[in-house]
Amino acid sequence: MRLLKPAGTLAKLTAMLWLAGALLQPQALRAQEDAPRPPGLDQKAAIRASQTVLGRSIGDYTLLDREGRPVRLVSYRGKPLLVSFIYTGCFQVCPTTTRSLDETVRALHDRFGSNQFNVVSIGFNQPADSPQALKAFAAQHRISQPNWDFLSPPARIVQPLTRDFGFLYQATPAGFDHVLQVSLVDAQGRIVRQVYGDRVDADALGEPMKQLLIGSPLPQRVRLDDVFDQIRLLCTVYDPVTGRYRVDYALALEAAGGLTFILAVALYLLGEWRSRRSARRASLSART
């Protein structure tokens, strides 16, 4: 009696995998096409607004730190300052961006020293982004840099503050849309560079930081066409159970489910092939 040929089982496995992929792809595409698309922030308009504030000075605003103590933004003058806007109800992108910025800050510390610049994260979703919420956010994501503050602005100054930084955001039925940006402010309190994206690259901040530290002027404007493809806007949904916003990754979860199914089919066929091969071998051994 002949052994079961592996090629036959592999051919079946390939056919099953192809069939699974063919079935899942239209389903994923339909989910993406049928997903509700509430009106959100216009990406290009947001980037242009962000670029228009380059060269402008930030106003004298007073915010609260994680302990509820007042902090004036002008108190950071004298050193370069990195500023990011976050909201603590975000469970995915803001934490990812903040951790990425933490890695970048550590790299900049290694390059320039830990006392050469400061970092500030500002919670714009008021009153939810209270000093206590920002303290918990920083602790949860293990942000412990001594030159990094998390600040909570009073609700009345959120609009003028975000306008000074060229930071646009919009509440939608699905949550918040906003541009992921880190603003580089010089020692005189002027915004000199906007760095975009959910991953803050150390190289993108290292060179302009170096120029600021040695006193060289920075070219302020960049080609907008070069940054549009790098921007990721938040896409969140409101969870009525928790009363907070969360990131909607339904399509990604569906893809993960599809991969799990494919892997399960592959493991099943592999196990069946091994079982049959063992049975054939046992039968041949018994006959001899």
pTM of the entire predicted model: 0.66
Total length of the chain: 288
For residues 262 and 15, the answer to whether their CB atoms sit within 8 Å is no
| pLDDT at residue 39, rounded to an integer | 54
The CA-to-CA distance between both ends of the chain, in Å, stands at: 12
pLDDT digits (tens, 9 = 90+) for 114-160: 889 999 999 999 999 999 999 999 999 999 999 999 999 999 999 99
Q: With a cut of 70, list the residues of the chain below it in pLDDT.
A: 1-40, 173-175, 218-261, 264, 285-288
- Tell which CATH classification among 3.40.50.720, 3.40.30.10, 3.40.50.11890, 3.30.1330.60 matches the domain 43-232: 3.40.30.10
| pLDDT at residue 106, rounded to an integer | 92
| pLDDT at residue 267, rounded to an integer | 79
DSSP 42-98: -HHHHHHHHHHTTTPBPP--EEE-TTS-EEEGGGGTTS-EEEEEE-TT-SSHHHHHH
| pLDDT at residue 221, rounded to an integer | 55
- The domain spans of the chain are 6-35+249-287, 43-232
Q: Residue 68 class from Cβ within 10 Å (0-12 exposed, 13-18 middle, 19+ buried)? A: exposed
Closest CA to 246 of 236, 231, 260, 235: 236
For residues 90 and 125, the answer to whether their CB atoms sit within 8 Å is no
Angle at 63 between CA 60 and CA 66, to 5 degrees: 150
